Structure 1
């Protein structure tokens, strides 16, 4: 596979990488919380937009490609946070199979 020319200078968004963790609730059960793993520089690129009818109205889904330097602990099911914006990681890929960068397909959580 050809080496892609990914300009690290384009990684200008500062994101918090978080992993899910079970947190005890007041009822003796557990709910899913998130714990910060790292702060990373990233490139966020809108990828797609869709609307579907659910319940009483339309629900919008926005997907993004988020490019970061490769990290061993990065996995689907984690999420990125940028202020109030949250990006759930659906899938990961190495764009040129060199282990330098990873591209995450993310769903932006709204509402």
Structure 2
């Protein structure tokens, strides 16, 4: 198998790494607030769009692949803020096991 080549020059977008914080809503539930942790350089690629109908509503799930430099702060459940979009991290892996880069599979929040 050929080694994976990731070009650091692709990391041209700026994103904010966000951590979720649950805040009680007073009715027994919680609202999610997002706290900014730090800024990162990333590469964002759209991967897929899945449309479906649910409870008489049309919904779409948009997924992205986000590549960034390796960081222990990047983990499942956190999100990347890219412009006005929030890309919630569903999975994180080191594609070539060198500890240089992370590839994150993300879902865009509507």
The alignment's TM-score, normalised by the length of structure 2, stands at: 0.89
Q: 1:31 is matched with which residue? A: 31
CA contact (8 A) 1:78 1:89 kept: yes
Specify every segment of 5 or more residues in structure 1 that has no aligned partner in the other structure, as ranges. Answer: none
Distance between the aligned counterparts of 1:61 and 1:35, measured in 2?
24
The equivalent of 1:12 in structure 2 is: 12
* CA RMSD after TM alignment: 1.8
- Aligned residue in 1 for 2:42: 42
Checking the alignment, whether the CA contact within 8 Å between 1:24 and 1:31 is kept in structure 2 is yes
Q: State the alpha-carbon separation in 2 of the partners of residues 90 and 6 from structure 1.
A: 21
Tell me what 1:106 maps to.
Answer: 106
* Distance in 2 of aligned mates of 1:84 and 1:75: 21
Residue 32 of structure 1 and its aligned partner are, at CA, apart by 2.3
Give runs of aligned pairs for residues 79-98 of structure 1, distance below 5 A: 79-98=79-98
TM-score normalised to the size of structure 1?
0.88
SS at match of 1:20: strand
Structure-1 residue corresponding to 2:72: 72
Call closer, same or farther: CA 1:98–1:2 in 2, change over 3 Å: farther
Mapped to 1, the partners of 2:31 and 2:61 lie a distance apart of: 24
Q: Where does structure 2 lack aligned partners over 5 or more consecutive residues?
A: none
Would you say how many aligned residue pairs link Structure 1 and Structure 2? 109
Separation (CA, whole Å) in 2 of partners of 1:97 and 1:108 = 26
